[in-house]
């Protein structure tokens, strides 16, 4: 390993070739995440059959989906361990635009249904 290229030392930062040194956090948290994801999927499966379709059931499914997303992005994609500004840069635009899109979904979908079937 040529240390001049791959480790960061003051005064010789080359943006195009800079690769920060990475270290293993071990596999324990990875397997724990896997078991949690699997457990949530199984709970999804059980709820699907014991509860009748309802708004509350849909909210539970979506909440579980968001928990799974946070685990995948935070642990598997390693974002929890990245620098603060990288985390902000990825998470903030996603939250802002996705809330807007979901709001649009509910307003527009409702409107089309009202106009088409409930005149």
DSSP 81: G
Binding mask 4-43 for another protein (x = CB under 8 A): -xx-x-xx-x-xx-xxxxxxxxxx--xx-xx--xx--x--
Q: Going by C-beta distance under 8 Å and a sequence separation of 6 or more, which residues neighbour residue 77? A: none
Quickly tell me which residue has 């699907």 as its tokens. 48
| CA-closest candidate to residue 40, choices 62, 7, 73 | 62
Token duo for residue 89? 């840069």
Binding site for another protein (CB under 8 A): 1-2, 5-6, 8, 10-11, 13, 15-16, 18-27, 30-31, 33-34, 37-38, 41, 44-45, 48-49, 58, 61-62, 64-65, 68-69, 72-73, 75-78, 82-83, 85-86, 89-90, 93-94, 97-98, 101-102, 104-106, 108-110, 112-113, 116-118
């Amino acid at each position: 390993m040529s240390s001049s290229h791959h480790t960061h030392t003051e005064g010789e930062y080359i943006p195009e070739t800079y690769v920060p040194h990475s270290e293993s956090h071990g596999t324990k948290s990875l397997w724990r995440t896997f078991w949690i994801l699997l457990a949530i999927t199984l709970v999804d499966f059980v709820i699907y059959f014991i509860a009748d379709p309802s708004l509350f059931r849909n909210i539970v499914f979506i909440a579980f989906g968001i928990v799974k997303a946070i685990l995948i992005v935070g642990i598997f994609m390693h974002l929890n361990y990245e620098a603060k500004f990288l985390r902000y840069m990825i998470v903030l635009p996603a939250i802002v635009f996705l809330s807007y899109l979901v709001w649009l979904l509910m307003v527009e979908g409702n409107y089309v249904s009202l106009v088409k079937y409930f005149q």
